[in-house]
Amino acid sequence: MEIAFETHPDRYRHWQLQLDGSVATLTMAVDPKGGLREGYELKLNSYDLGVDIELADALRRLRFEHPEVGCVVFSSGLDKVFCAGANIPMLSGSGHAFKVNFCKFTNETRLELEEASARSGLRSLAACKGVCAGGGYELALACDEILLVDDGSSAVSLPEVPLLAVLPGTGGLTRLVDKRKVRRDRADVFCTTSEGMRGERARDWKLVDHLAPRSRFDADVEAHSARLAEEGAAGKAAAPGPGIALPALQPTREGDRLRYRHVELHVDADARRAELTVHAPTGEAPARATARQKAGADAWSLRAFLELDAALLRLRLNHMDVGLVVLKTRGDAAAVLAHDAALAAQQEHWLARETLLLQARVLRRLDLTSRSFFALVDEGSCFAGVLLELLLAADRSYMLEDDDEAVALQLGPANDGPHPTVTGLSRLETLFFGDPSGLARARETSAPLPARAADALGLVTVIADDIDWDDDVRIALEERASLSPDALTGMEASLRFPGPETVASKIFARLSAWQNWIFQRPNAVGPDGALTKYGQPDRPKFDWTRC
């Protein structure tokens, strides 16, 4: 079954989006029969990937279609239950790769919620009028504030370790100690107490921000959301709006090739390889913010990256055997740089800012995708400006040395600041980590760089003339495809992110790596493992060896 990542509020089965001036409410009312596949029921507002696809769509639409909103409230449509977290029968019945990619997508959605608060003035409130467990509490942790009903029974919990022998999969451990500053000894108690914490202890331990009795809960939600909306409005660069409609991307399929307006994805299943090509703009860059507003989602800087995001998600979940992605660009480098320059000049306008932030999120999605990425710079390429970020994100790059030096790279303002990785460094800073003189030389360079100049500057991995090009590239691709995918995933994740750590980098590089390992261990997924035995009368049996 092919998973579709595009949806629309008219087709939501699990969320209800309501707007009231500067406050939006996303009510979680999961359809128990609405799972992505058969074999499990989504009881007690438990979720699967389909639920989170709708949530990601709603967050994106709030940012682009409703920029006037300053606070989003997450509430539940069920009585006495906020969210029971990821659906356990779904997890136990899923393959390893699906589980890991499901967690990765959910992590990215939670991080977008936090970025919306920090960069777009969209604050968030988790209104937990009932039990808030596992992934449900992790969603609450991603919000700015948590309000818990104080009724003697409602609690917040991360029960994965004692009940399932796995870890909270979407950043819960990291957010407890890094974001909410919960003492690590108290966090230890909390994460090994399956029933969680309620009432004053939950508030005193910083697990929630506010308590309210049922009689006052709705009034407190209204008061806190109004305050947060005011804070959000103060955090917006200028009065935003009106919003723009996000269109259906509607790619066309020709055999094993998927074509969007600006992006092509060609999958060679036999070679376990894909080719991802991004085309440069052909029209003029919007010279004014009003022109950008009029162009809306059809502006190349936005549309091309919406399409690239969709293609990356398709690769992750629908083509799990593809291990190597060849990155290509086609078109006029000057046009790319012109669109970048227009976007940078208009970044005080809400739509230009949101476009830059979306570009950055899509590029981070590429960074965090467990595939090998090789960039090929050949005739017709336009690796310049924001499209050069694709090359800088790649694990290797190969560049054709042509006699007339028409094949060239070109740096621009988009390459050193507006598109940070999860570590907070730009990809240029990452490439030259520990080499300040090399970074300085790159920053001073704005002219087109043919192969020898790009190689001398340190921007590409290998250059080859037209005699050696075909063989060099073929051998490199075949060799990469022959290596262990498990070893490559670990190697790439270790090499892509030198430098400092952030909450986001810890979630992916540390938590996700451990979860990846734990998801394969018999204590969790073996015939007597905790995930397998969950909901059954007999208890799991553990191998007590500590690794």
Does residue 518 lie in a domain region? no
102-122 mean pLDDT: 96
Check whether 238 has a pLDDT greater than 70. no
- The phi-psi region of residue 80 (left if phi > 0; otherwise alpha if psi is between -120 and 50; otherwise beta) is left
pLDDT at 514: 84
- At residue 95 the predicted structure's pLDDT band, cuts being 50, 70 and 90, is very high
Check whether 135 has a pLDDT greater than 80. yes
* Mean pLDDT for all residues in the chain: 95
- At residue 237 the predicted structure's pLDDT band, cuts being 50, 70 and 90, is low
Does residue 537 lie in a domain region? no
Alpha-carbon gap, residue 480 to 466, rounded angstroms: 22
Model pLDDT for residues 301-320, shown as the tens digit of each residue: 999 999 999 999 999 999 99
Q: What is the count of structural domains for the chain?
A: 2
User: Are residue 330 and residue 184 in the same domain, yes or no?
Assistant: no
User: Are residue 263 and residue 211 in the same domain, yes or no?
Assistant: no
Which residues sit opposite 277 in a β-bridge? 264, 328
User: Are residue 266 and residue 214 in the same domain, yes or no?
Assistant: no
User: Are residue 354 and residue 433 in the same domain, yes or no?
Assistant: yes
Residue 239 CA: distances (Å) to CA of 62, 232, 235: 15, 11, 10
User: Are residue 188 and residue 304 in the same domain, yes or no?
Assistant: no
Check whether 425 has a pLDDT greater than 80. yes
pLDDT at 239: 65
User: Are residue 282 and residue 205 in the same domain, yes or no?
Assistant: no
Check whether 235 has a pLDDT greater than 80. no
Domain that holds residue 340: 252-495
CATH at residue 338: 3.90.226.10
User: Are residue 258 and residue 110 in the same domain, yes or no?
Assistant: no
- At residue 509 the predicted structure's pLDDT band, cuts being 50, 70 and 90, is confident
User: Are residue 417 and residue 300 in the same domain, yes or no?
Assistant: yes
Check whether 492 has a pLDDT greater than 90. yes
Does residue 152 lie in a domain region? yes
- At residue 240 the predicted structure's pLDDT band, cuts being 50, 70 and 90, is confident
CA 173 to chain centre: 18
Tokens 């697990």, residue? 207
User: Are residue 212 and residue 260 in the same domain, yes or no?
Assistant: no
Which residues sit opposite 28 in a β-bridge? 15, 76
For the record, the structure tokens of 479 come out as 């060799």
Q: Supply the pTM of this predicted model.
A: 0.96
Quote the crossing angle between the two packed helices 300-318 and 350-367, to the nearest 10°.
30
SS (H, E, C) 408-460: EEECCHHHCCCCCCCCCCCHHHHHCCCCHHHHHHHHCCCCCEEHHHHHHHCCC
- Give the alpha-carbon dihedral of 112, 355, 290, 241, to 10 degrees: 0
132-167: b (≥16 Cβ within 10 Å) or e? bbbbbbbbbbbbbbbbbbbbeebbbbbbbbebbbbb
CB atoms closer than 10 angstroms to residue 266: 17
Does residue 504 lie in a domain region? no
**Is 300 strand, coil or helix?**
helix
123-135 mean pLDDT: 97
**Is 332 strand, coil or helix?**
coil
| 237-243 contacts, C-beta under 8 A, 24 or more apart | 237/348, 237/350, 237/353, 238/348, 238/349, 238/350, 240/67, 240/68, 240/350, 241/67, 241/68, 241/350, 242/293, 243/64, 243/65, 243/66, 243/67, 243/68
**Is 531 strand, coil or helix?**
helix
Does residue 182 lie in a domain region? yes
CB atoms closer than 10 angstroms to residue 275: 16
CB 221 within 8 A of CB 332: no
Check whether 203 has a pLDDT greater than 80. yes
User: Are residue 379 and residue 430 in the same domain, yes or no?
Assistant: yes
Alpha-carbon gap, residue 403 to 198, rounded angstroms: 71
Model pLDDT for residues 67-76, shown as the tens digit of each residue: 999 999 999 9
Does residue 506 lie in a domain region? no
